[in-house]
Amino acid sequence: MLTAEENELLTSTDAGTPMGTLFRRFWLPVLAAHELTERDGPPLRLRVLGEELVAFRDTEGAIGIVSAYCAHRRAHLFFGRNEGCGLRRVYHGWKFDVSGACVEMPTEPADSAFRERIRIKSYPAREWGGLIWVYLGPPEKTPELPQMGWPLVPDSHRVVARTFHECN
């Protein structure tokens, strides 16, 4: 029988916990690819290993998985507009690209370099095997995508579906 402390050690996956650190060293499937097909479509909310994130596909088709909160006043980016290769916060108009860089800041003068210092957390994302995968670990230790058999077959030979199982 596990103690409460041992159970917490083995089941907590938030950032900074032992299991959270372990799981962040692998690519994690977070969405079915068909859920994020529209370029400049509405962003999607995600909660992965205790982190609130937003996923979007930009104008060029790149996938962005970024912090759910704007660097300015921590407004939720889910309510932002996905336009012109970035996710724009509605109130002040700050726009962030898939790498988390602030690319537009309409509240600053045109010659201001302030936006170049502003970033939000972003994670690498890849579409593969009908899923969208994210890597939350240290960038210098990014592994290759997992080479399992099912992603290697043509789309016509696989079915990707989401199910919910109530369990402990």
- What pLDDT is stored for residue 131 in this prediction? 95
Q: For residue 42, report the phi and psi dihedrals to the nearest 5 degrees.
A: -65, 145
pLDDT above 80 for 168:
no
- What pLDDT is stored for residue 163 in this prediction? 85
Nearest to 132 by CA among 19, 14, 28, 24: 28
pLDDT above 90 for 107:
no
pLDDT above 70 for 10:
yes
* pLDDT tens digits along 12-31: 999 999 999 999 999 999 99
What is the average pLDDT value for the chain, to the nearest integer?
A: 94
**Cα(126)–Cα(61) distance, integer angstroms:** 11
Structural domains for the chain: 28-157 (2.102.10.10)
For residue 161, what are its two tokens? 């579906």
Amino acid at 12: S
**The model's pTM:** 0.91
* pLDDT tens digits along 46-65: 999 999 999 999 999 999 99
For residue 162, what are its two tokens? 């989401």
* pLDDT tens digits along 60-91: 999 999 999 999 889 999 999 999 999 999 88
pLDDT above 80 for 145:
yes
